[in-house]
Structure 1
Amino acid sequence: MLSQRICKVSLTATRSNTFRQGCIAPALIRFASTTDGQEKIYTGSLASRMKAVKLFSLTTSITGAAVQPTLLEQSMKVGGTAMAIAACGVAGFFTIVTPLLLHFVTKKYVTELYFNKKTGEYTAITISLVLTRQETTFKPEDVTVPEVPGMFTSFEVNNKSLFLEPSLFPDPEHYVKIMGYDKPVDFKLNLTEAQDPQKSKK
């Protein structure tokens, strides 16, 4: 009887410890995800499609590079050197140029944007050529808005162009702050000559 009671007590203790661990573990994970100070404030609508397209393009490029020797050999047998050069040129174009062109267009697109309340910094996530995450950390004072924005360019940070969709911000104040719309407007009027009539006569 005494052994059965001891077994019951140990079993109850084991279950309670397991229950406590099961409750504490998610809480710790939740706590770790919020203590870093990063808050997601923006998600690009084309992020998943862009990743899928770039993955497909990268896969076809690797496959095309792998079959280049076979294509060259078969083209030499069928049409000689001219045929081989033409076939390899077309295949090489789609193997190399297409991923580079796609990356040139999509490298500015911000898939995610985080805000650190402690430091007041923003972290923009973009996709590299090989589908890795690239982080660009900046503050609103580091942002330069070009007078004539380029293609898929909202602003620049250290000569790096980034593109955001204003309508996707749940809190538009972040977009206003990043773009500097909360600052006084500088109309860049040349008032020095108007104030000095002697210089204007000269």
Structure 2
Amino acid sequence: MLFTPLSLPGSFTADLQRFEDERGFFARSFCAREFGTQGLETAWVQTNSSFSREKGTIRGMHFQRPPKAEVKLVRCVRGAALDVIVDIRAGSATYGHWTSCELTADARNAIYIPRGFAHGFQTLEPDTELMYFVSEFYSPEQEGGLRYDDPALNIAWPLPAANVSPKDRSQPSFSELRPIEL
């Protein structure tokens, strides 16, 4: 695997290291040894899939608070999406900053999201599916979120927002957030 740090400390893209021949290629999409060597999470307790029919759909910005704060490894298995993360860690030098990367089924790339980040995405193609590996079981009591369109964050979504759930539309603003203490 090829790990490339993103602008927010602890976050990475994870690209496949392909071994190609005339038939196609072989690559590991996860290797505990390689992730461990990078100091990244290696224990996943749940895998989730998210399918969105319409181009422009926004899901997020979601997170879980301690003691159920989670690490995510997100890969696009069909279509394409802009994946966005926001640093919400108390005391972080990049608190309130966001970054993004494009995930596509063709690129087979992934984003590694550490604990203490809000996460969301916008589909760039119809019929887009993302697969998440998560390090903690879902806990409704520790669930949190931020407004995807909060002017304080000024996230540059590439398309007009479509199919945003009522729950995501009613998330609190960044100014109302209590930072994550890890």
TM-score normalised by length of structure 2: 0.23
Say which structure is richer in helix. Answer: 1
> Normalized against structure 1, the TM-score is what?
0.21
Q: Higher relative CO (CA 8 A, sep ≥ 6), structure 1 or 2?
A: 2
